[in-house]
Amino acid sequence: MAKSPTTYRIGTIGYGGAFNMGKTHLESLRKNEGFIPAAVCDLDAKRVEVAHQDFPGIETYTNVAEMLKKAKLDLVIIITPHDTHAPLALQCLKAGVAVVVEKPMAITTAEVTAMVAEAKKQKLFLSTFHNRRWDGDYMALQKIVAEGIIGRIFRIEAGFYNYGKQHNWWRSDKKTSGGTIYDWGAHFTDWILGIKPDPITSVQGYTLKNPAWAKDYTNEDHAEVHIRFADGCWSTLTMSNIAAVDKNRFMILGENGSISYGQDKWIVKEFHRGRIVTTEIPFLKSNWDGYYANVAAHLTKKEKLSVTPESAARVIGVLDTAMVSASRGGVALVPKLK
């Protein structure tokens, strides 16, 4: 889909106030030559007016079909609640418009499978905003793992641990969000699969709600995703707001050492010449615009795409399988997207 870099007209579906993500996406993409913020669609007239202020002259709409028909867009960025990602992406692809979807790509394996198939059918670009592959801590971690310092990885533990009620908004509504594991959990799963790309043999899930908060929202308060890889490695991702414990967000065990999360650095312990040697490796500098720089280079120069639709779909394959497993008492299941 290589084109002249002067022809990419970009639109967004969603310009909501949370985190100001509409402006963030458009500003990051337009740093690349020829990518022009052209249109915004939002159901909230107030947010449409904000888009006018942020990007004077931009076309604004409150109806997706109208925007797709009139705005002559090359690429649409979908920045809406999780349960709308799949239907909106399919609507755009069927209208002949390429798509970037905010993470998570969607909620179910069936949804992401349909999205990938439609993109292939239409021969259109499709990707998911896994921008945190360009976080400095993760880029440094990838480098350490690639160097093989700790040997074969056999155990990964990751996640966030906290104690406190979730905010009362759509992200805490399970039907809309998919569950507590789908927000930051999508980033963590993407990271885990990035450093451990081996085939997956099984996935198990476990969830728990705090009875005291049961009437306040429908998301789980504690969710775990257990992945078993073909080489025997086990990974556990935990996203919890009822875990009153101090625990690092990442710990990786290898047959020759370990990697754990420190303050602005990784703590690497390596078995060397009969003793354990500890090394502190600073995080790299984060590249907040790295995702769209890669997208632009892929579209205009045919450079390799980092966040392929298949890699983003694999994340959802794991999370969806884990939630099905949790609903069945934690039984081990084989994901369709391995």
What CATH code is assigned to 133-285+317-327? 3.30.360.10
- Residue pair 90/115 in contact (Cβ under 8 Å)? The answer is yes
Provide the pLDDT for residue 259: 98
Instruction: Tell me how far CA of residue 97 lies from CA of 17, 81, 300, in angstroms.
Output: 25, 20, 16
Provide the pLDDT for residue 16: 80
Domain ranges in the chain with CATH number 3.40.50.720: 8-132+289-306
Quick one: DSSP state of residue 166? P
Nearest to 319 by CA among 217, 209, 220, 214: 220
Provide the pLDDT for residue 19: 73
**For residues 263-301, b (16+ Cβ closer than 10 Å) or e, as one string?**
eeebbbbbeeeeeeeeeebebbeeeebbbbbbbbebbbe
Write out the two tokens for 160: 């966030």
- Residue pair 55/105 in contact (Cβ under 8 Å)? The answer is no
Provide the pLDDT for residue 6: 62
What's the whole-model pTM score?
A: 0.95
> Domain 8-132+289-306: which topology?
Rossmann fold (3.40.50)
Strands (DSSP E) found in 143-289: 153-161, 200-208, 222-229, 234-240, 250-254, 257-261, 265-272, 275-282
Domain ranges in the chain with CATH number 3.30.360.10: 133-285+317-327
Instruction: Tell me how far CA of residue 271 lies from CA of 129, 178, 219, 256, in angstroms.
Output: 38, 42, 42, 5
CA 65 to chain centre: 26
Instruction: Tell me how far CA of residue 52 lies from CA of 73, 167, 176, in angstroms.
Output: 18, 29, 28
Which segments of 95-215 does DSSP mark as H helices, in order?
109-122, 136-146, 174-177, 184-195
Place of tokens 């476990």: 206
- In sequence order, what are the residues at sequence separation of 6 or more whose Cβ sits closer than 8 angstroms to the Cβ of residue 275? none
Separation between Cα atoms, residue 85 and residue 226, nearest integer Å:
25
Place of tokens 């999205």: 115
Mean pLDDT by 10 residues, the chain (338 residues): 68 86 96 96 93 95 97 97 98 98 98 98 98 98 96 98 94 97 97 97 98 96 98 98 94 98 97 94 98 97 97 98 98 93
Place of tokens 């007239």: 45
Write out the two tokens for 38: 């052209």
